[in-house]
Amino acid sequence: MSFLGYRLEPRAKPPGYVVFLYSFAAVLIALIITGFIFIAFGLNPFSAYATVIQKTLLSWRGFSQVLLKTVPLLLTGVGLVLAFRAQFWNIGAEGQILAGAAAAAGVALFMPLPPFLGIPAMFLAGFIAGGIWGFLPALLKVRLGVNEIITTLMMNYIMLYIVRWLINGPWKGKNVRGFSESDKFDASFVLPLFKGTRLNWPTLLIALLFVLFIFFLLARMKLGFEIRMMGESPEAAHYAGVNFLTTTILLVLLSAGAAGLAGVGEVAGIHKKLLEPTSISQGFGYTAIIVALLARGNPLATLATALLLGWVFASGDVMKVSLRLPDQMSGVINGLLLLCIIGIEPLLRYRIVRVNGAKLGEREASSGT
């Protein structure tokens, strides 16, 4: 089977540099297509990109905006990498982020704590709340075989409406008049920022440590080995005596807990209050699925993929403000990126070989001897 003198030949396992080069090419193609969208809006694509790059990458202030979006994607994304490695399809990160955010707000609003304990207590509460939100689907899956894709997805909506109820009902601020939001957090419950930016460093630090921890867990720890067995061959894991219940619950607690931590960072670092759920998380829980899938099961790779998608989010803001493009641009670029990266997938599994009659004949002759 050949086409225009070329044909595809399967390959065993693509080397690392091939994966990197092809992924890079895919990103480039997506950005070139975006260039045509700029043209359609009457913009010069080169100057448009120049503006976007200058405002996102060439100044610390701009880059801090990229990191601001990267942090929740990184925490949530690396948690999803862990879940996906075990074939636990956690689509509920959005709800787990909100659960973490709500728990942090609960601590900030109602727990009288000494100032130095406020922030650790919020992160702890957020981790546990996120974990609990993942626990129920995990239990249902292992005990009753309920599909976790459906349960985790539905849990998102439950948490969304719980948060809406909280900000309109019991937790509605006394000083917010008509707005649906809580009171502002006390200063001791607000995360410290990098100077001159809106980026808080505690969540960034936690995210980086969490990535290292998940990498270490999968590479070196007994639990990581069990998670990999369970994901790669459930039958062999049963045979080896892996306890599916405890292993699944532990990994989901970590995965959903990471999303909870991201939620804490959003309310305690940026908004300083509990507010409308779609403002707390701009779909980070769903975008993190792309982060995790692009990382191809490698926790360290989320550093790059989260940064890429964080940049797309930040660029969307720049396009809106400086280029007066519609709000949906970052969604469009996200979609194009995903399409292009999925599109190159066959090239990772096959290589393109030029059909050369003489050479082919030689190979057949030599294999025959």
- The closest of 236, 248, 235 to 143, measured between CA atoms, is 248
Residue 355 makes contact with other proteins by CB under 8 A:
no
CB-count burial class (<10 Å; 0-12, 13-18, 19+) for 169: exposed
State in angstroms the smallest separation of the CB of 285 from other proteins: 28
The two structure tokens encoding residue 24: 């890079």
111, 240, 352, 355: which one contacts other proteins (CB under 8 A)?
240
Classify strands 6-10 and 350-354 as parallel, antiparallel or unpaired: antiparallel
Of the pair 232, 327, the CB lying nearest other proteins is at 232
Residues 152 and 145: their CA atoms lie apart, in Å, by: 14
Task: Single out the segment in contact with other proteins by CB under 8 A; choices: 85-93, 129-137, 145-153, 236-244.
Answer: 236-244
Hunting for tokens 């790779």 — which residue is that? 301
* Coil, helix or strand at residue 18: helix
Residue 222 makes contact with other proteins by CB under 8 A:
yes
State in angstroms the smallest separation of the CB of 223 from other proteins: 7
Residue 212 makes contact with other proteins by CB under 8 A:
no
State in angstroms the smallest separation of the CB of 215 from other proteins: 14
220, 358, 366, 369: which one contacts other proteins (CB under 8 A)?
220
Of the pair 50, 236, the CB lying nearest other proteins is at 236
Angle separating helix axes 284-294 and 244-265, nearest 10 degrees: 120
Is there a contact between 206 and 212 (Cβ–Cβ < 8 Å)? no
* Coil, helix or strand at residue 323: coil
Task: Give the bridge partners for 351, in sequence order.
Answer: 9
Residue 241 makes contact with other proteins by CB under 8 A:
yes
Number of residues engaging other proteins in binding (CB under 8 A): 19
Residue 184 makes contact with other proteins by CB under 8 A:
no
Is there a contact between 256 and 58 (Cβ–Cβ < 8 Å)? no
Residue 59 makes contact with other proteins by CB under 8 A:
no
Of the pair 15, 42, the CB lying nearest other proteins is at 15
Residue 232 makes contact with other proteins by CB under 8 A:
yes
The site string for other proteins over 242-281 (x = CB under 8 A, - otherwise) reads xx--------------------------------------
Handedness of CA 229, 232, 234, 240 (dihedral sign): negative
What φ, ψ does residue 190 adopt, rounded to 5°? -110, 135
Using CB under 8 A, list all residues that contact other proteins: 12, 220-223, 225, 228-229, 232-233, 235-243
